[in-house]
Structures are given as C-alpha cells and as structure tokens.
Amino acid sequence: MNLSNINLLKTDSYINGEWVKSPDQKTFNVINPFTNEEIARVSEASKSQVEEAIKHAEDAFKIWRKFTAGKRSRILKKWYKLQLDNAQDLAHILTIEQGKPLNEALGEIKYGASFVEWFAEEAKRNYGDTIPGHARDKRIVTIKQPIGVVGAITPWNFPSAMITRKVAPALAAGCTVVIKPSELTPLSALALAQLAEEAGFPPGVINVVVSSNAAEVGETLCASSTVRKLSFTGSTRVGKILLKQCADTVKKVSLELGGNAPFIVFDDADLDKAVEGAVASKYRNAGQTCICSNRIFVQEKIYEDFLEKYTAAVAKQKTGNGLHDGTVIGPMIQEKAVQFVEDIVQDAQSKGGVILTGGQRQSADSLMFEPTVIANATTDMKVFSNEIFGPVAPVFKFETEAEVIALANDTPYGLASYFYGRDYARIWRVAEALEYGMVGINTGMISTTVAPFGGIKESGFGREGSKYGMDDYLEIKYMCWGGVE
Ligand code: ADP
C-alpha cells in the first residue's frame, strides 16, 4: 500500500490505548471493491474484548470528564490537525477499502476532521442557564453533564466522517467511546485511532473494536448498563433492532437511518443549476449516501428539457478505479448491493420505465454499475418506495405543487429533501410542507459541520454537527437551591 505514514495501517482492535489481537487468532478480510483483492486481514474482536473495552471506557470516563473543557479541546484540536496532516494517506486507505474516488475521499477526510475542530471549540461553550426561581427563597441553575460511555456503530459509506461526527461531540462533552465500524471498512477507523493515540487522549477514552460479527457487538453494547448512550448510523432495519435492544437499559439513543429523498424541480427553476444539483446529489459516492436524491420529480412543462440535459450530464461522468485521476464514480460496495440495484432497475423497466442511459453493471464480475437515468418513472415501481443506494435516478413527472408535496411525503422516511424554484412564496410553502429533517433549496449539497444533520419519521432522531450536536451526549441537570433568605 502506497502510504507515507505506514503506521496508519492497523489491523487489530484498539482497546485502552493498546492494539489487541483476537484471543483465538480469528481474522476477517477487507476487500478492495474495485479490484476485488484482499487489502488486509483484521483481527476479530471477541465478545469479552468488547466488554473489556466498555469497562476501560468506564474507567477512563472518570478521568476524562474531570479534564477542563480547555484541556479536552486542545487534545481534540491536535487530533484534528493530525487528520489534516495525514489527509492524503487517510484518503488513500478510504478509497481502497470503500471505492469512492480519491478526491471524494479527501473531501470526506476534511469534512470528518471539521467536526473535530468544531467540537473542540464547542467543548468550551457547554453553558447552563440560571432560571428565575418560583419562590422568594429559591434559585434555579442548570448544568449539562456528559452522559457517560458512548457506543458508536458506524457504516461503510462514510468510514471516516461518520466516526468523527459522533466521537468528536461525545469527547468534547466529556464522554468516552467504544466504536464499532463497519466490517467492510475497518481500516479508516483504525487509522483514526492511531492518530488519536498520537494526539494524546488518555488510554480508554477512545476504543475501536473491529468485528465481522456486528450483531454480537451490537447486542453487547446495547445490553451493557455501563453504556449510557448509543449512536448509530446505518439502515432503518438495523436501527430498529438496536432501538429495541436499548429498551432494557433505557439508553439514550441517536439514530441516523435511511432516506428516500425527493428532488423536486419546479418549472420556474434555473434548469442548468437544477441539473447540476441533481447530478451532485444523486451520484456522489456512487449513489450510496442516505441523503442522495432518490426520486426526482420534474414539473410537466420542463420534463423533457430536464431529461435531455440531465441524461447528457450523467452519461459524461467518468467511472472506474477511485485511485485513477478523473474518476467521479467508483464501484458499489458489494455484490448484494449491485444485485439489489439490478432488481429495481428491471422492475422499473417491466413497469414502463425507459432507460435513457446506463441500466446495467459494466461487466459480469464487476461491482461497477453504470450511472443510470430512468424516465417515465411511476409510483408503483420499487424505485419509488425503496432507498436505492446506487447510481440510479428515476425521474417522475408532476403537474401541481400539491401533487408533488403529497408524492414527496409519501414515504416512511424523512431525512433529506431538495427542490429548485424561484417563486419565493412557494419556496417557503414547500420548505414548510416537506416532512424532512433537512431541505436543500436550490442546492443539491447540504452537508456541513455547522448545520444540524438528522432526520424525522423512520429516518431516525438526534442531530449531528452544529451547536445542537453536543446535546446528544449531555444530560441536563437542574439544581433547586432553597433557603436563600
Ligand atoms: P448498510 O445498509 O449501510 O450497510 P447496516 O445498517 O447494515 O447499513 O450497517 C451499518 C452498521 O451497522 C455497520 O457497522 C454494521 O456492521 C452494523 N450492523 C449490521 N447489523 C447489525 C446488527 N444486527 N446489530 C448491530 N450492528 C449491526
């Protein structure tokens, strides 16, 4: 592997400041989804190692929470700087284990690091309130305290940033963490742990357990009464399992789950900008993000013009090995993901959908799926109700504002939504009517550290980033002082 800092390539779990192998020497392999070659064999953490990690995090919590906010902030800032100093290597690791183009991977590393910087600053602003008392002799004060040990379960589509987005606010608040990254992309998580070690976090503050037995690790984290908070990003299916498992210990939970984002183009929109936004929001990470536009709705009058420009722009995108210059779309993550996309494309075709570009994988043994546009999409197709999670854009035609709002909201999901138009009154109306946690207005790119990322309905709850992001890791306590005569 072509790294300047070979120390970043780790293959063991990181527990209490040590790299630990599986007690029974069990390993699992990490595969490059473009070449299908094995990149590394990683030690499989056992259940008892996960329990040890929780115990060490509990011990470390007693120390870490007592650090002044300024001291925690300085260590976080160091971690941030190390991530930027090593950005090229981190991006390289990310691309080979996940497939996204190197430029995009570099973007993820910088985006991920920005959460560490942001929450290093927020750590110092964990303010409480004073509240006018309800009786003459009463005084009321609130303080916010770290909740305790946090379990973080993260997905493969953002192997680095989904970790920092949870861990940075947790650490800033004074919590300690046990992270379980996706078994498909553990190397990015371990590289972050190596940099955390260099940044000087006390042992046990950050622990990373790698395992291909996600269910076992999940159960162990959820069943532990020491773990006071679980933060999960992944599918709605797994999120529901974890939420149930957290009931017995009444854990605080944050869930960032699936989406089914509408992307609406009204007929007064700037068409070229809408096309640009629709390409950006659909094909980033080969369509494998939970905020990728899933259903594109275009108003009747401009439907054909939009399709023509959009198809031309989509077909132009260079696909291939993420390490090669100019690649903008890499492989999908694994075989079953490609098969799912093949199935929903066939379903759309069988129900009258017209493939304007793409439509299939590039060769029988490859995970590369061609960027695809489907015209004449209808609500009876699987592409309407399922999260596609691949480079496939179904384009629906609509007539009225009321109709498109109803269509957009006709889903159990409520994460991201987008629309393009110019009429300012309609912009307000539509933004208010969309049942989503996030609305992009005349933009297809909404992710930023400074705004609260999160969903409603079956897309989950909790917010990541922004001034709200630390709340998920804090408890509010109020003190009622009596006898102040
Ligand atoms: P995706 O569809 O994006 O792969 P998943 O929800 O399957 O999303 O995976 C997200 C994360 O959840 C990964 O770290 C994965 O290992 C983990 N995971 C999968 N199944 C379970 C489970 N039963 N319990 C706990 N974690 C799980």
Enumerate the active-site residues: 256, 290
Does residue 382 sit in the same domain as residue 335? yes
CATH, residue 324: 3.40.309.10
* Ligand 1 contact, 234 CB (< 6 A): yes
Q: What are phi and psi of 119, to 5 degrees?
A: -80, -20
Distance 393 CA to ligand 1 centre (A): 25
Which is nearest to 286 in space by CA: 307, 308, 314?
314
Cα–Cα distance for residue pair 476/485, rounded to 1 Å: 26
- Say if 483 falls within a structural domain: no
Does residue 371 sit in the same domain as residue 266? yes
- Say if 454 falls within a structural domain: no
Domains contained in the chain, number: 2
Cα–Cα distances in Å, from 421 out to 123, 356, 373, 440, 476? 39, 25, 22, 11, 41
CATH, residue 253: 3.40.605.10
- Say if 400 falls within a structural domain: yes
Distance 179 CA to ligand 1 centre (A): 13
Which is nearest to 182 in space by CA: 33, 77, 81, 57?
33
Cα–Cα distance for residue pair 435/408, rounded to 1 Å: 8
* Ligand 1 contact, 223 CB (< 6 A): no
Half-sphere exposure of 152 (CA within 13 A, CB side): 33
* Three-class SS state of 244: helix
* Ligand 1 contact, 155 CB (< 6 A): yes
Does residue 26 sit in the same domain as residue 156? yes
pTM of the predicted structure, to 2 decimals? 0.98
Distance 155 CA to ligand 1 centre (A): 7
pLDDT at 2: 84
- Say if 86 falls within a structural domain: yes
- Say if 145 falls within a structural domain: yes
Which is nearest to 217 in space by CA: 312, 153, 281?
153
* Ligand 1 contact, 182 CB (< 6 A): yes
- Say if 240 falls within a structural domain: yes
* Ligand 1 contact, 479 CB (< 6 A): no
Does residue 275 sit in the same domain as residue 251? no
Does residue 318 sit in the same domain as residue 350? yes
Structure tokens at 1: 């592997």
* Ligand 1 contact, 238 CB (< 6 A): yes
- Say if 485 falls within a structural domain: no
* Ligand 1 contact, 218 CB (< 6 A): yes
CA-based radius of gyration for the chain: 23
Does residue 180 sit in the same domain as residue 206? yes
Does residue 430 sit in the same domain as residue 339? yes
Cα–Cα distance for residue pair 435/415, rounded to 1 Å: 8
- Say if 1 falls within a structural domain: no
Contact of 146 with 173, CB cutoff 8 Å:
yes
Does residue 102 sit in the same domain as residue 141? yes
Distance 215 CA to ligand 1 centre (A): 8
Ligand 1 atom showing the smallest separation from residue 217 Cα? 25
Distance 363 CA to ligand 1 centre (A): 28
Mean pLDDT by runs of 10 across the 485 residues of the chain is 93 98 96 97 98 98 98 98 98 98 98 98 97 96 98 98 98 98 98 98 98 98 98 98 98 98 98 98 97 98 98 97 96 98 98 98 94 98 98 98 98 98 98 98 97 98 98 98 96
Which is nearest to 195 in space by CA: 218, 169, 167?
167
Which residue among 153, 220, 291 has the greatest number of ligand 1 atoms within 8 angstroms of its CB, and so is best to mutate?
A: 153
pLDDT at 70: 98
Does residue 189 sit in the same domain as residue 308? no
* Ligand 1 contact, 334 CB (< 6 A): no
pLDDT at 1: 75
Distance 157 CA to ligand 1 centre (A): 11
pLDDT at 451: 98
Does residue 417 sit in the same domain as residue 335? yes
Does residue 360 sit in the same domain as residue 393? yes
Does residue 232 sit in the same domain as residue 268? no
* Three-class SS state of 11: coil
Q: Which domain holds residue 417?
A: 261-448
Q: Whose CA is nearest to atom 11 of ligand 1?
A: 155
pLDDT at 339: 98
